[in-house]
Structure 1
Amino acid sequence: MPDLIIDGLKVSVPTGTLVIDAAERLGVMIPRFCYHPALGGVGSCRMCAVMFADGPVKGLRMSCMVKAQDKMVVDTGHPEVLEYREHIAKLLMLHHPHDCPVCDEGGHCLLQDTTISCGHSLRAFQGRKRTYRNQDLGPLVAQEMNRCIHCYRCVRYYQEFAGGRDFGARRIAGGVSYGRYQEGALVSVFAGNLTEICPTGVFTDKPSRHQARHWDLERAPGVCLHCSLGCSVEVDARYRRVVRIEARYNPEVNGHFICDRGRHGYEYASLPQRPRQALVDGAPAPMDQALDEAARRLQAVTAAHGPGAVAALGSSRQSLESQAALKLLAARAGWPAPEFTTGSHRKRNMLSAVRGLSPELRVSLADIARADAVLVVGAAPLSEAPMLALSLRQAARKGAAVAVIDPRPVELPLPFTHIPSRRHDMEAALGAVLRRAFPDPADEERAFLEAFTGEMPEAHAAPGWEAFADQLGRAAFPVVVCGSDIVRLSTPDLLAGAAELMRRRLGRAGFFPVLAGANAFGAALMNTNEETSFDDVLEGIESGRVKALVCLEADPVGRFAASSRAFDALSRLELLVAADCLPSRTMARAHVFLPTRTVFEAGGHYANQEGRIQRAYPAHACGTPLAQSLERGHPSHDFALQAPGSAPLAAPDLALRLMDALGLDPAPAASDAWSLMASALPCLEGRLPDEPGFLCSPPGIGLAARPSPVPENLAVDLLITEQAFGTEELSSYGSILKALAPHPQVVLHEEDAATIELRQDEQVHLACAIGDAHCFVRMAANMARSTVVVPRRPDSGWQSAVARGYIVELSHLEKRGEGSGEEAS
């Protein structure tokens, strides 16, 4: 490790560390514009100049271009350096407009801070400033090109780091600008990071434009709830409303960036139709009265039919505290253990994926970026976990081989090998890759590999799979990414076994499950019984065995596949108690509704897909946003002790209050939030509150996993899948991202479309046993044959399209009649 002296302070840094980073370890911030830790240095802005007074390098140099070496003596405040920086600041400000008072970047502008620190305050330039015409870059990013200092950060991030190709540098010399070849929304799902990567006010967050200054905001560290990765975010709020979400640096999870769904999916928290009032039989009621009424009716059901007649349902978007409180409520009341997923298939896949995550195989997003071979099976990263795609790109930039076994037309911002196998053939494709990668297995490994039957399906569609398998067999650090949405029940165990095989053969390997929900890992550990699911709850309601249902932050009508069945079942209940912060379809059916607080108001702990526990802190007080409570443009003159709309309770508190109303004693488990979680998760016992760490997975089956038989005479396989925008539960309630969501599409192979005479963008309906799904046709060549893909969007009709076993006949995909286009849209 090189030892050097910076401003009289000694520091030792790892080999290869840049001087600008070495100084930052000492708390010495060297001014910079083009340099960013995620992008590296290019030495173009010339602002990070320092004086090398002694050692192997001497003279004035750019600190972002020089690596630390032994015996270096660096002076960041040398008079020659200060004069040089002042000249650079003057040059950068020659054409910069004097619009700090109206610039949205004001208050957290790197150019503003650096100019002031360099002592530049008077503008001597008397000539005509260079001006540009701004572009419309879509609903997320606003452009003010006149403020540009040509640091090139935006293009380096968008093209090199994120892999986008619709944005770059245009023109030459003094007329260089940055934008698209023509106006339009940026295509990349990581485009919002331009607003943070830009050191000036060229690119600013359009939805929050002119909303608040940086110093006006309430800020708190949070956790993104829009997929299972658990990215770290900074929540900015003002007047009881979230104004903006920014990335919070987390070296092991999301690094410096977040995706656009995580950045702009917050609108559900401040919707005008968000429920803030408790309801009893549809009529408003005080919270205490509603809780007492819910308890009275639950006691009546229990007295008449026994505690087994009451079921409880949570979700994977709940915090650990909320899940634990629901589990404690059910246990103390004598009810069956609550369910946290809507569907047996998803639950069993989730449990299998979590079970395969042993401590030896656990890897983070940062680890994936360092892998040299990654095999993705049954996952579409850009749609299901966007930041995973960004980590895969960083691995590919360093030479890693990436392959995807998936029936869908998967897209990634990197070169990769796609093996488009049907859902029931993915395990055979996995076996073919493993057999080629490891041709001389040991006895136990041989039994595992020989269990895979069949050859590589549709090998002609994946010409590079042999080369990938060869590279996988000699990798130093391979990672297996496991989807849990569309895969078969045996696939997660097999993928965990494949990762274990690689670890034994290669010395190191990783297993990375992609789960459905921000706290799906916690949900899996809260209820590990594979024999029960929400399907059993529905069957109990339909048979008359279940008379009451308590839904805590769950929407079975909106999220269950067969929504009409769930709707009819809830109508048969004697009592439905629902508690949520969303204006859900289940809320509309509830006999007693209890409003809850959002994560921005209540905070909470969440476990991401690797079991990493992270805490979100409250960002603002609970209450109706000021803009929605104004009377003729002014705040209310009612001097109340509480803000309007502050009746909702945090979900854990609400569950504990309901226990109290039922006459149940939650102590000592509920003495504090950490004790409450530890009561449901024994692996937390003995650990300090907020101690960094992971939840412990139940032991997996490793190399003992075996594929399940492939059904014979398969019809067309119907896949209900996620999209980057428009399908995730929380973000789908907002309007910001709706403009970026494509029209509902039914996707099928171009040869399958040709056999039934369908054309691109034609309107069709998918006729199934229980209803129709109305979509536009999209044809693709890079997907499996005999497969139909429908998005999990409310306007696609996917819940009506789900037939038994997700199998449909291709002949059921028919053109819609003339005059029906308006109805479809």
Structure 2
Amino acid sequence: MDLNHLHLDVDRTIITAQPGQNVLEACLSAKLDLPYFCWHPALGAVGACRQCAVKLFNGPEDHTGTIVMACMTPVTPGMRLSITDPATAQFRDRVIEFVLTNHPHDCPVCEVGGECHLQDMTALVKHTERRYRFTKRTHLNQDLGPFIRHEMNRCIGCYRCVRFYRDYAGGDDFGVFGANRNIYFGRATPSTLDSEFAGNLVEVCPTGVFVDKPFATRFRRKWDMRATPSICPHCAVGCNITVQEREGEFRRVVNRYNAALNGYFLCDRGRFGVDFIRSPARRRTSAQRDAQGTETPLDIAAATAALAEPLQTNNVIGIGSPRASLEANAALRLLVGPAHFYAGVSDHDADIIATAITILRDAAVPIATPADAAQADAVLILGEDPSDIAPILALSLRQSAQRATSEALAIRQIPVWNDSAARRSAAGSPTPLIIATPMSTRLDDCATACLRPAPTALLTLAATIKAQLEHPSAADPTAIAAILCCASAPVIVVGGDSALMRAAANIVTTLRRIGIAARLSILLPEANSLGLGLFGAPPLSAALAAIQTGSAPHVIVLENDLHRRSETGPLEHAFSHIASLSVLDCIETPTTATADLAIAVGSFADANGTIVNQEGRAQRSFKAIFGADDPAPSWHILRNAGIAAGRLEATAWAGHRDLIEAMAANLPDLAACRILWPHTYEGDMQRPPTLPHRYSGRTAVNAASHVREPQPFANPDSPLGPTMEGTMPRTGLMPHVWSPGWNSVQANLKFPSAAEPGVMLFPASTRIPAELPLPHPPSPTPGILALPIRRVFGSEELSNLAPAVASRVGSPILRLNPADAATRGLSAGTMVDCTIGTTTVRRSIALDPTMAAGVAGLTIGVQGEANPPLPGSLTITASHPGEPS
């Protein structure tokens, strides 16, 4: 007997269900077609729409039954149901008719037409008759900002939008107004939605009330776009996305469900930031610059030949990048040699990345996924705000904290912490979220406690927590250590400082030693920071030192803006020591502007590539944009230049898989990436198709020149097929999700395992993690200590170039405690010069009464500006006291 499943009788068919599911979930999991509107797997059920009605029979002798709402009815063993019962079917038909009375029926001009859940459900219940002949209710639409267009007349009142925005994502600037049939979902006053998750309204809404505004300017129907699985390049979480294009032009990004990472949602940076590949800053052509600064355009063959020239010498170094793929970095490293390859990150970032690798690989500390964070029964955040660095992780932490109440600490005042029975009795109590950061965070509103220690005090706090865990009898039962001890699966989130990361890892180790399944979540700065760190290359400062000593006259830079990362000020002096600077990049940067040779290469959407997220999870994305003038991938150009220079055999890296094999052979930490290569498909027609089965207009697009359908392109490095024909896998690589009769995003519910899980480079170990030695406490910083502020919109290099995201970037600020500002005669809005080391930037003063004393927050990632060396001692010069912010 299967004790893990329940068995239900649905229309005389036995289906299985998981304990805790409702009837609607059970039916959808069994691939039964039961219509619904308001239910969502992440948001739960509220019974608002009455569309999922089923007939429930009370035992075998009941032949009449009762109509109930499936989303509000939990499954029970042996329950008997009917979906096809005539009275129930008529009930659902009348609900649809009622919903449509005020709907504008504007499907032909609606951007959601063809992927609309309302369309699907109307067809599913076979409703075709319109009997409403009166004046329809109408609403005025609001301007909700650059990401979302409002079409309120299409609303059917399912309440999904407000449930997601307010209850799930924690936004407070969007709500529902009115009552009964006259309700309105929007803002009190028209303005940009504040939440960084507002774009999810497009996919959460079952109709077209919320429209992807950038996509609307280059709109195509869902069935007229090619879809390719990919990985978001804008942070280290590695959210799964689907990139859609038409005729070689990027159209939009939609979420790709991954249970461990992003689930059903994306942050707005991930959803709209990919538009950087269409921005004016995108480099499309290669060029060579002479001594007078005059550029000469080059085709790909000439650019490759020009790159081969410095490679023919023995004095060439390569500088990699955390926004480039493993394959691109590996190609450059293999080409110039490990001793001449540099990581291209600051000393501070290199220290953080190396510490993260030590924690994952050497100490084997268990790492938390965002899904783990959502299920944590206690959370401690140390050092940095995950809302800015890893928004999806912050969203998961918010889900954990939704259970927090003001009684959480009182409930957890258990004197004997190592008493397993006491821990179990507290397991059902509210979840505490404790935040210890020098600056306020956007999770403060749902936190149980907020502490604002300076960085040195943070290290002391971490040491105190560890000591109290080791000696519980001497500690205060209301302390943080007590709360962690009363949990069964706590999560510690840490970032910003390598010493603090080690201290947090030791807290997890101590908790594991006393039998508590604690996990660690590490915040890393960029998409492939950890992957680049696994190459073991020295940071940018070492490369600049080699350049200035004259030992590296030729420099090749891979997808990196050195001006942005230099901690020693302007690079003109360093560049004056080199004979040639060659830069391969997909965007225009100050580094490409000063390069002797600037080569246009493909972006992440133009090439296959692998990145490693902050858990050590390697994931692969595939070429998604297929245009006539596609730039070549970085590794293609490096390979061809290496062959021309005689550094590589003529047959080297014939394909993507060959490069992966070479990379794995030279870097044992990356050997597991081999298994990421998908299974071989027998012929193109057996590959998962990137074109949906309804793809149209293939010949009409080219009708002005000819009507012959062009030959499908060949992409031997991809497991995906170029046509509509192929076998759609049930799991793993799914370019687009579709089920008969389910054209909307709700088809995801038919495929709960539609994402490729990737491969963990450092698999979980059953042994107790090793404790890490802590460095000596840092010397006190004179004056004010400046710390970086990383913003969702404005700090990440690529997304800054997307027009919609750029419009959300606020003014750069210097955040100060009011007391620190008053001591220096500064007030809010004052423009000041901020000097850290040899770098000076201008900022507007912003006062934050919750800020730790003696600490300042400085926004980084400002477009066209070098990041100051942070953390660092700050000198403030109020040279413009009257200038507004």
Q: TM-score range by the shorter chain?
A: 0.7 to 0.9
Change (3 A) 1:337 1:495: farther
Q: C-alpha distance in 1, partners of 2:771/2:368?
A: 19
Q: Determine whether 1:662 maps to 2:645.
A: yes
Q: Deviations over 1:523-561 (max 9, x none)?
A: 11122x5xx321111111112122111111111112333
Q: 1:573 to 1:668 in 2, by over 3 A?
A: closer
CA contact (8 A) 1:526 1:680 kept: no
**1:778 match: secondary structure:** strand
Deviations 1:86-137 (A, max 9, x none): 1111000000002111111111110011112222223211111111111111
Q: Report Cα offsets for 1:711-748 as digits up to 9, x if no partner.
A: 14632111233111111011012221122222111101
Label 1:143 to 1:720 Cα distance change in 2 as closer, same or farther (>3 A).
Answer: same
Q: Aligned in 2, Cα 1:414/1:29: closer, same or farther, shift over 3 Å?
A: farther
Which one of the candidate residues 743, 756, 762 is aligned to 2:811? 743
Q: Which amino acid aligns with 1:477?
A: A
Please point out which of 417, 438, 451 is paired with 1:419.
Answer: 451
Which of 159, 163, 176 is residue 156 of structure 1 equivalent to?
A: 163
The verdict on how the C-alpha distance between 1:697 and 1:98 changes in structure 2, with shifts beyond 3 A counting, is: closer
Q: What is the deviation of 1:653? A: 1.6
Specify the SS of the correspondent of 1:68: coil
* Partner deviation per Cα, 1:120-178 (whole Å, 9 max, x = no partner): 22321111111111111111111111111100001111111101111111122222111
1:202 is matched with 209
Cα distance change of structure 1 residues 617 and 797 upon mapping to structure 2, 3 Å threshold: closer
- 1:263-299 deviation digits (Å, cap 9, x = unpaired): 1101221223422222222311121122122212332
Q: Whole-Å Cα distance in 1 between the matches of residues 173 and 531 of structure 2?
A: 39
CA distance in 1, matches of 2:117, 2:264: 16
The 5 Å alignment of 1:715-734 reads: 715-734=783-802
Q: Helix, strand or coil: the match of 2:782?
A: coil
Ranges in structure 1 where 5+ consecutive residues have no aligned partner? 450-463, 624-642
Q: Judge which range, 109-118 or 232-241, deviates more.
A: 232-241
In the superposition, relative to structure 1, how do residues 758 and 798 fare at CA in structure 2: closer, same or farther (>3 Å)? Answer: farther
Q: Find the counterpart in structure 2 of residue 688 from structure 1.
A: 675
Amino acid aligned to 1:214? K
Q: How many equivalent residue pairs?
A: 758
Residue correspondence of structure 1 range 444-455 to structure 2 within 5 A: none
Deviation at 1:314, TM superposition (A): 1.0
In the alignment, the residues of structure 1 paired with residue 866 and residue 336 of structure 2 have an alpha-carbon distance, to the nearest angstrom, of 32
| Match 1:535 to one of 534, 541, 551 | 541
Pair 1:771–1:15, CA change in 2 (3 A)? closer
Q: Separation in 1 of the partners of 2:335 and 2:208?
A: 51
8 Å CA contact retained: 1:343, 1:535: yes
Q: Against the structure 1 CA distance between its residues 796 and 314, is the aligned structure 2 distance closer, same or farther, given a 3 Å change threshold?
A: closer
1:344 matched to which residue of 2? 347
Residues 512-551 of structure 1: matches in 2 within 5 Å?
512-527=521-536, 532-551=538-557
Mean Cα deviation higher: 427-436 or 715-724:
427-436
Matched, 1:120 2:151: no
Distance 1:52 1:576 in 2: 74
1:652 alignment partner, one of 635, 638, 651 = 635
Counterpart position of 1:473:
485
| Contact 2:232–2:238 under 8 Å retained in 1 | yes
- CA–CA distance in structure 2, aligned partners of residues 569 and 55 of structure 1: 83
Q: Distance in 1 between matches of 2:869 and 2:263?
A: 38
Cα deviation, 1:548-602, whole Å, max 9, x if unaligned, reads 11111111112333441x3431243101111110111111121122211111121
For the pair 1:362 / 2:426, whether they are aligned, the reply is: no
Distance 1:44 1:588 in 2: 57
Q: Distance in 2 between matches of 1:683 and 1:598?
A: 25
Residues 36 and 677 of structure 1, relative CA distance in 2, 3 Å threshold: farther
CA distance in 1, matches of 2:781, 2:643: 56
CA contact (8 A) 2:365 2:520 kept: no
- What letter corresponds to residue 661 of structure 2 in structure 1? S
The alpha-carbon distance between structure 1 residues 13 and 587, as it changes in their structure 2 partners (threshold 3 A), is same
- Whether 1:391 and 2:457 are equivalent positions in the alignment is no
**Counterpart of 2:28?**
24
Amino acid at match of 1:193: N
RMSD (Å), alpha carbons: 2.5
- 1:668 and 1:285 mapped to 2: Cα distance? 25
2:198 corresponds in structure 1 to: 191
Are the structure 2 counterparts of residues 689 and 382 from structure 1 closer, same or farther at C-alpha, using a change threshold of 3 Å? closer
SS in 1 for 2:67: strand
Match of 1:455 in 2: none
**Separation in structure 2 between the aligned mates of residue 507 and residue 415 of structure 1, nearest angstrom:** 22
Q: Would you say 1:267 and 2:271 are equivalent positions? A: no
Match of 2:102 in 1: 95
Secondary structure in 1 matching 2:201: helix
> Does the 8 Å contact 1:291/1:658 carry over to 2?
yes
CA-CA distance at 1:696 after TM superposition: 2.5
Pairwise CA distance, 1:472: 1.2
- SS of 1:576 mapped into structure 2: strand
Does residue 314 of the first structure (1) align with residue 315 of the second (2)?
Answer: no
TM score, norm. by length of structure 2: 0.82
Q: Do the aligned residues in 1 keep the contact of 2:375 with 2:400 (CA within 8 Å)?
A: yes
Deviations 1:173-212 (A, max 9, x none): 2221111111111111111111110001111111111522
Q: Deviations over 1:469-508 (max 9, x none)?
A: 321122111111121xx31x42222221221111111331
Q: Is the 8 A contact 1:758 1:815 kept in 2?
A: no
Among 689, 693, 709, the residue aligned to 2:777? 709
Contact persistence 1:402–1:417 (CA under 8 A): yes
Between 349-358 and 29-38, report the one with greater CA deviation: 349-358
Match in the other structure for 1:47: 51
Contact kept? 1:496, 1:702, Cα under 8 Å: no
- Is the partner of 2:327 in helix, strand or coil? helix
SS in 2 for 1:425: helix
Greater CA drift, 744-753 or 4-13: 4-13
Which residue of structure 2 lines up, in the alignment, with residue 277 of structure 1? 285
2:503–2:774: 8 Å Cα contact kept in structure 1?
yes
Q: Secondary structure at the match of 1:225?
A: coil
Deviation at 1:7, TM superposition (A): 4.0
SS in 1 for 2:541: helix
The answer to whether the 8 Å contact 1:154/1:198 transfers is: yes
Residues 713 and 290 (structure 1 numbering): CA distance in 2 closer, same or farther, change over 3 Å? closer
In the aligned structure 1, how far is the partner of 2:588 from the partner of 2:73?
A: 56
Contact 1:357 1:496 in 2 (8 A): no
Q: In structure 1, what residue type is equivalent to 2:880?
A: R
Separation of aligned partners in 2, 1:109 and 1:540: 58
- What is the CA-CA distance between 1:214 and the residue it aligns to? 1.7
TM-score, structure 1 normalization: 0.87
Read off the aligned partner of 2:297 and give its amino acid letter. Answer: P
Unaligned runs of 5+ in 2: 290-294, 404-429, 679-757
Contact kept in structure 1, 2:837 and 2:873, CA below 8 Å: no
- 2:661 aligned residue: 675
Give the 5 Å matches for 1:488-499: 489-499=498-508
Kept in 1, the 8 Å contact 2:800–2:863? The answer is no
Q: CA deviation at 1:768?
A: 5.3
Q: Is the 8 A contact 1:327 1:680 kept in 2?
A: no
SS of the residue 1:207 aligns to: helix
For residue 145 of structure 1, the aligned residue among 124, 141, 152 is 152
